Amino acid sequence: MRTPLVRLAAAGAALAWSLTGTGAATSAPDPFAFLPRDVELSGVDRDRLDAGRTVIRVLPGRDRELAVVAAVRTDAPPERLLAWTSRIAPLLQSRYVPIVTRFSSPPRIEDLSALALDEEDLNDLRRCRPGDCGVKLSAGEIDRLQQRMTGRADWKREAQQEFRRIVLARAETYLSDGDLGLPPYNDHRVPVAADVEFASLVARLDLRRPGFAEYLQAYPRAEHPDVLESFLYWSRETLGGGKPVVTVTHVTLVGGDDSTSVQALVVSKQVFASHYKTSAVSMTAIAGSGEARYLVYLHRSHVDVLQGFFAGLVRRIVEGRIRDEAPAVLNALRSRLEHGDPP
């Protein structure tokens, strides 16, 4: 499921659990065995989880990559995660994510009635040109907006309406043609293609379900037997002190897996983001059972501000915010799941 970049992650993660930590039982299945192998949590981390505290790890990233893993014990039954996710708005809405709307099937322009760009985005769009734009759009989308705005006294209203149509078109295109159909971002000099960006992320996520990575990459041309439900939603998110971001996300609900400890799994994949992220994928799971049941979140993304001369400084700032703010976000999610069914 989708969460703000500097809250639960401006990006995603890989995780493996060390069995040498205190309290590790040799006879019980490891509730974290489904996670990737390239990160080892310490015995101190295990003790924190056993004490009911959250564990947040910002993981080593490559170039533009930002990754985070978070875990906390929970009493929520696994079906609660699936039920709340299906009703995505009450699960995600907060002061950081003020607007969340699940798209109709098929998507309609009315689904985007609450979408409104702020003044900074509108002014950026007015100056926008292919290869130099303050909003992540393709060259064709930029041209469409310029045609609507040029020489018009009501250019702001026209820009708002055309932007909604662009977001709708991206949702429709993804549902019919997947990543391959999405136009590349052309806000910078070098275009960025969604299929290429996502392929590198999903390879690093190291999903343990046979055929599931292929399902995500080839959607909608591929199917997977474990998928219970799939849908799109759009949101407006506030990422720390950055610009508000309009996103479209593909959510897949997956049932339990007899070969691992996963009781319920939600995979969220970015379809569009107006700022910062060129691609993102995350996993939210309830794994384990009884007193050893955990809510686990992993997120990995490509973030374009993590490049250039000040990339190191920006990374330290973003990672610091994640460490500071992610525990409250994860605990709020756990609280909603534990306090009953969605409204």
**What distance in Å separates the CA atoms of residue 55 and residue 45, rounded to the nearest whole number?**
6
36 sits in which H/E element: none
DSSP code, position 50: H
Q: Which domain holds residue 20?
A: 16-113+209-338
- Say if residue 12's pLDDT is above 80: no
Asked, for residue 176, whether it belongs to a domain, the answer is no
Three-state DSSP class for 277? Answer: strand
pLDDT of residue 278: 94
Residue 245's nearest CA partner among 275, 222, 214, 265 is 275
Q: Is the pLDDT of residue 25 over 70?
A: no
- Give the pLDDT confidence score for residue 5 in this predicted structure: 37
Q: Residue 20 has what pLDDT?
A: 32
Question: Phi/psi zone of residue 173: left (φ > 0), alpha (ψ -120 to 50 degrees), beta?
Answer: alpha
pLDDT exceeds cutoff 90 at 1:
no
pLDDT band for position 240 (cuts 50, 70, 90): low
Q: Are 250 and 268 in contact (CB under 8 A)?
A: yes
- Assess whether pLDDT exceeds 60 at residue 14: no
Residue 6, pLDDT > 60, answer no
In a domain, 1, yes or no: no
Helix axes 155-177, 139-149, angle to 10 degrees: 150
Helix axes 139-149, 119-127, angle to 10 degrees: 100
Residue that wins the pLDDT comparison between 172 and 256? 172
Per-residue pLDDT band at 21 (split at 50, 70, 90): very low
CATH number assigned to the domain comprising residue 319? 3.30.530.20
Q: Which of 2-6, 26-30, 109-113 has the lowest mean pLDDT?
A: 2-6
Q: Are 69 and 39 in contact (CB under 8 A)?
A: yes
In a domain, 303, yes or no: yes
Question: One-letter amino acid identity for 141?
Answer: E
- Type of residue found at 7: R
Residue 264 placed within a domain: yes
- Residue 318's pLDDT band, with cuts at 50, 70 and 90, is low
Question: Looking at per-residue confidence, does 58 or 1 come out higher?
Answer: 58
Q: Does some domain include residue 324?
A: yes
Closest CA to 206 of 248, 242, 157, 260: 260
Instruction: Assess contact for 6 and 198: CB atoms under 8 A.
Output: no
In a domain, 197, yes or no: no
Q: Could you tell me if residue 177 is inside a domain? A: no
pLDDT higher than 60, residue 45: yes
Q: What is the pLDDT of residues 131-158, one digit of tens each?
A: 999 999 999 999 999 999 998 999 999 9
Does residue 199 fall inside a structural domain? no
Three-class DSSP category at 232: strand
Q: Is the CB of residue 322 less than 8 Å from the CB of residue 331?
A: no
Give the number of domains in the chain.
1
Instruction: State the pairing for strand pair 292-303/65-73.
Output: antiparallel
Which single residue is written with the structure tokens 């056993």?
A: 50
Contact 57, 318 (CB under 8 A): no
What pLDDT does residue 17 have?
30
| pLDDT score recorded for residue 301 | 87
